[in-house]
Structure 1
Amino acid sequence: MRINKILVIRFRRVGDSVLSIAICTSLRKSFPNARIDYVVNENMASLYENHPDIDNVITFNNEENNNSWKYISKVHKLVSTTKYDVIIDTRSTVKTLLFSLFSLSTPYRIGSKKGYNFFLHNYRIDNHRDKSVDMVQHNLKLLKPLEKESEIYYCPDFKLYVSEHEKVDCRFYMQKQGIDFTKPVVIATVTARLAHKVWDKERMKEVLRRMIDKYDTQIIFNFAGNEEEFAVNIHREMGNDKNVFTNIKAGSLRDLCALIVNCDFFFGNEGGPRHIAQALEIPSYAIYPPNILKSIWLPNEGERYAGISPDDNNLQEEQRNMTYLDRFNLITVDEVWAGLDKMLAKYLK
């Protein structure tokens, strides 16, 4: 059959949606003439403006997501108006199953294998069992049924794009706020959306001091919403070090992209900003909390994209009897610095 219209559903968080770009890129290479629509939460839409592998970004705002009638009405209108040939439901939740329920004539309704989606997804892929395979590879397995129609180019790349105009404007803003681009610039996430994913504050401050002392690094703290107070307090506890900047803020995820591409390196707690940095090809080193597997959430790990996890200590058996905090504290300052320093020596100007 001729595949003309494809819908990729990717709700949830920023990092998840960024990693799922690889699906769109693989579809573009496999079906270059097809229309590719991407469903995300409204607050993420700006990330994918003018993306070459996405034709339309379809968004759902908080009101639509939280109001059952509005959500159902929008899903029904979307799939009944646009007759899709392929629906790829990366979430495969009871809620996202509605896209397939209202589009039973769609030949390829693909989702992850769940106990409840037997009748609505006619292709169910068991793509989450192997914990040694990263999330990008998990997602790409959803394209397997389409091999019936064409050769599929499985592309593990997930990229975001910033225009030269956006980059220059942000660079000018950063200079106005005090950044000297003759010195190294690092963007750092010293906090996180979820408090339990934040590495010990005192240890974080020690690593930041070593970065400043050895490389005269200018460090921009990235934060959003209620994370600001925590970040500002760290800066204060560091004596309001002139090399640390809390006055440079990204008003949107699009602005964050422009900010990151003007930096030389990313460092900090694992999360959406780290995925954005990798999608923009900025070298990064991240700290992974317990239960967030590096093997899954650090695609293409190597000398340019690296990180540290409690599991790196090879104490899996001992960790079973440890508290979450004790497991997190297995990550020491010296261990972080050993990996980070090696990368900074290579990638900082």
Structure 2
Amino acid sequence: MNRYVVWKSNEPAFARRDGTRHERMEFLNWRGKLVNLSRINKILVVQPKPFGDVLLTSAYLPALRRRFPRARIDFFVAKPYDRMVYKHPALDNVLAANMRSGKWYVLDRLVSFWMVFKRHYDLVIDQNASTTSSQIVALSGARYRLGYSSGQSAMFSNIKAEYGPTKYNAAKRYDMLKPFGIEEEPVQLFFYISEQEQAFADGWIRANGLSGKKIALYSPGTTYHYKAWKTDCFAELADRVAQGTNLATVLIWGPNERHYAETMAGYMKTPAFILPRLTLGQAGALLKRATFLFCNDGGLYHLAVATKTPTLGFFGSVEIIAWSAQGFVPTHFHLNNPNYKLEPERHFGFTAADALDRFKQIAPNFGIQVKDV
């Protein structure tokens, strides 16, 4: 039996004498307790960090907006992760808080608690289910506190969602909204790119003689070393793609990842361009201009969902069903060996030739012709 039942009262909407409108009341029956949805006028989604999780959580914001079209919807996030929801069209405001460690820890937490409490939210959603997010929800003063039925947030939530089956993380986050009758929708992510960031990408492409050429982006780095496919494998793949297509090779890297790109370029026999240090917006602008992206399991893989860049991700010893967008968005694919066990060599159980074969299967979907080399 579905424990979440949304129903409307029989009382029709009408206009008051003062010109305001009384809307038909709507209720959620949660385990026998009536939640007056019509009283939810201020909503806060809490997902402090990191970059990838903040972006993935934003997937359901348009659906939440359609469910509560008149409500104010805000998003609590730690700096600098607020960039992932900057100017999101489904949000009214982003509460970006400092979350520093050391001597600033207590002060930053107190400021965060007050930042939320003083806004008098009707509904606070603990999407992160962490110690930090649970504390924020517990001290929010909100009438309704939505969290999962198990884990750290369960103690402080008075409306509880159930974890559904494991699936791509952006889609799975819809589990949280099921108590309000919101069902999973096709995954779409939004990431704002400014005119200045667009101009930077165009300028770099022009300055390096790549105007009018198709670009294959390679991201051999990752935040976690065990998630990085071997750089010599990346190099061999890039050489073979360059020899078999008209794609120019460009290497992109994130914070503390430049050595991956330099090492890969050193292995290569064909020309490769290494991008400079980029902001997230500049990276997004380059992704939009790329014909194809090859990368590891990481934030860039998910950012490419937002930019709709065709992508082949290389996955090692991770929960592939949770982190691959294959089957959820038409641009994204993965390669992994389910029998691979974590080891220092990080070959992931497949070769550059295997990766090229996978690319050959995908390439025609995006108008890319690959010759045998």
TM-score by length of 1: 0.85
3-state SS of 1:96 partner: helix
Letter in 2 for 1:331: F
Equivalent in the alignment of 1:71: 108
Instruction: Determine what percentage of the aligned residue pairs are the same residue.
Output: 20
Q: State the 1:186 CA deviation.
A: 1.9
Q: State the 1:120 CA deviation.
A: 0.9
> 2:83, 2:314 → 1: CA distance?
27
Higher share of residues assigned strand: 2
The 5 A counterparts of 1:49-128 are 49-63=86-100, 67-104=104-141, 106-127=142-163
Match of 2:72 among 26, 35, 50: 35
Equivalent in the alignment of 2:304: 277
Match of 1:201 among 210, 231, 245: 231
Letter in 1 for 2:88: H
Q: State the 1:303 CA deviation.
A: 5.0
Q: State the 1:161 CA deviation.
A: 4.0
Superimposed CA distance per residue, residues 45-95 of structure 1 (whole angstroms, 9 cap, x where no aligned partner): 223222211221222335279833123212221222111111111111222
For the Cα contact (< 8 Å) 1:86–1:109, is it kept in 2?
A: yes
> 1:256, 1:269 → 2: CA distance?
15
Equivalent in the alignment of 1:218: 248
Higher relative CO (Cα under 8 Å, sequence separation at least 6) belongs to 1
Q: State the 1:209 CA deviation.
A: 0.7
Describe the shift of the 1:85–1:172 C-alpha distance in structure 2 as closer, same or farther (beyond 3 A).
same
The 5 A counterparts of 1:1-349 are 1-63=38-100, 67-104=104-141, 106-127=142-163, 130-131=165-166, 133-147=167-181, 152=182, 154-162=184-192, 165-166=195-196, 168-239=198-269, 241-242=270-271, 244-250=272-278, 252-290=279-317, 292-299=318-325, 301=327, 304-311=331-338, 315=339, 322-325=341-344, 328-347=347-366
Superimposed CA distance per residue, residues 17-55 of structure 1 (whole angstroms, 9 cap, x where no aligned partner): 111112212111211222211122312222322221122
> 2:76, 2:251 → 1: CA distance?
30
For the Cα contact (< 8 Å) 2:217–2:294, is it kept in 1?
A: yes
Describe the shift of the 1:245–1:326 C-alpha distance in structure 2 as closer, same or farther (beyond 3 A).
closer
Aligned residues: 330
> 1:16, 1:179 → 2: CA distance?
36
3-state SS of 1:110 partner: strand
Higher share of residues assigned helix: 1
For the Cα contact (< 8 Å) 1:5–1:36, is it kept in 2?
A: yes
3-state SS of 1:329 partner: coil
Consecutive unaligned residues in structure 2, runs of 5 or more: 1-37, 369-373
> 2:135, 2:75 → 1: CA distance?
16
Q: State the 1:114 CA deviation.
A: 3.0
Letter in 2 for 1:91: N
Larger Rg: 2
For the Cα contact (< 8 Å) 1:310–1:328, is it kept in 2?
A: no
RMSD: 2.5
For the Cα contact (< 8 Å) 2:316–2:348, is it kept in 1?
A: no
> 1:33, 1:94 → 2: CA distance?
31
3-state SS of 1:324 partner: coil
For the Cα contact (< 8 Å) 1:162–1:258, is it kept in 2?
A: no
For the Cα contact (< 8 Å) 1:10–1:89, is it kept in 2?
A: yes
> 2:332, 2:52 → 1: CA distance?
15
For the Cα contact (< 8 Å) 2:168–2:325, is it kept in 1?
A: yes
Describe the shift of the 1:116–1:196 C-alpha distance in structure 2 as closer, same or farther (beyond 3 A).
closer
TM-score by length of 2: 0.80
> 2:59, 2:41 → 1: CA distance?
19
> 1:60, 1:135 → 2: CA distance?
24
